[in-house]
Copies of this chain bind each other. A is one copy, B any other.
Amino acid sequence: MAEIKPKPINKTPEPTLRRLPWYLAYLKIMHTKETSVVSSTQIAGAIGIDASQVAKDLSYVDISGKTRVGYEVDQLIEVLELFLGFNRKHKAIIFGAGSLGKALILDSGLNNYGLEIVAGFDVRADLIGTTINGISIYHPDECGSLRGTLDAEIGILTVPPDKAQEVTNIMVDGGLKAIWNFTPFRVKVPENIVLQDTSLFSHLAVIFNSLNQADL
């Protein structure tokens, strides 16, 4: 029999991509506890979802569990990190070095998960020319001339909402391939650009509303 296995080009569904980091976090805890093998049932129990869902999600990853035994923890961690892209650096630039932007530059956790912020941009004169956590802050006008040097593919958007679309356009024109939008404004991007929204304010709205409901 031929050994050739064609690489599957199945696109991993977004809900699966969102869940895989949960499994990874659990596996890393198991690793510190010196557990060497886990089953999908164990993972499912720890996370509170169906074991069949875990098995299905893991089927997108290039690893196979031994029936009745499970997955080797160390191996599954390695494969998941590789699959999710957490073990190699993805360069990003951040637009808006105000409150939230500065906070994200200071958050080393993102760096541990493969995001390397290489520069910040802001219009505020008192920020331009300074560094935050070793990251230089430039005027947005310098973005074009710096693009080649910086070689970033991800743009993080932490500007005021009324500047969100304008700055997104600058980032797209500048050749960035993905926009990570932290503003509450829904920006529009061309179809070939990856857009991920993380609206902390939407999450706050859900929390506040649920608390008020509970108070009724």
A174-193, CB under 8 A of B: which get 1 and which 0?
Answer: 00011010011110100010
CB-based contact B107/A99 at 8 Å: yes
Does A18 reach chain B (CB closer than 8 Å)? yes
CB-based contact B113/A109 at 8 Å: no
Q: Which of these, B46, B107, B206, contacts A103 with CB under 8 Å?
A: B107
- Distance, CA A100 to CA B106, complexed state (A): 8
CB-based contact B17/A84 at 8 Å: no
* Contact status of A11 and B213, CB under 8 A, knowing A107-B100, A198-B203: yes
Q: Which of these, B28, B162, B210, contacts A32 with CB under 8 Å?
A: B162
CB-based contact B22/A204 at 8 Å: no
CB-based contact B20/A205 at 8 Å: yes
Does A25 reach chain B (CB closer than 8 Å)? yes
CB-based contact A196/B206 at 8 Å: yes
Contact partners of A209 in chain B: CB under 8 A: 12, 17, 84-85
DSSP class of A's interface residues: helix, strand, loop or mixed? helix
A195-207, CB under 8 A of B: which get 1 and which 0?
Answer: 0101111111111
Q: Of residues 48 to 98 in A, which have CB atoms within 8 Å of B's CB atoms?
A: 48, 84-86, 90
Chain copies in complex: 2
* Contact status of A99 and B90, CB under 8 A, knowing A26-B185, A161-B29, A199-B21: no
Does A137 reach chain B (CB closer than 8 Å)? no
A-B contact pairs, 19 of them (CB 8 A): A9-B216, A17-B205, A20-B205, A21-B202, A46-B186, A48-B186, A84-B209, A85-B204, A86-B204, A86-B205, A90-B211, A99-B108, A100-B109, A109-B201, A110-B200, A180-B203, A194-B207, A194-B211, A198-B203
Q: A12-B209, A17-B206, A29-B161 are in contact. List 20 more A-B contacts (CB 8 A).
A: A17-B209, A20-B205, A22-B184, A22-B186, A25-B161, A25-B184, A25-B186, A29-B185, A85-B212, A86-B205, A90-B208, A90-B211, A103-B103, A103-B107, A110-B200, A114-B208, A154-B211, A177-B211, A180-B203, A194-B210
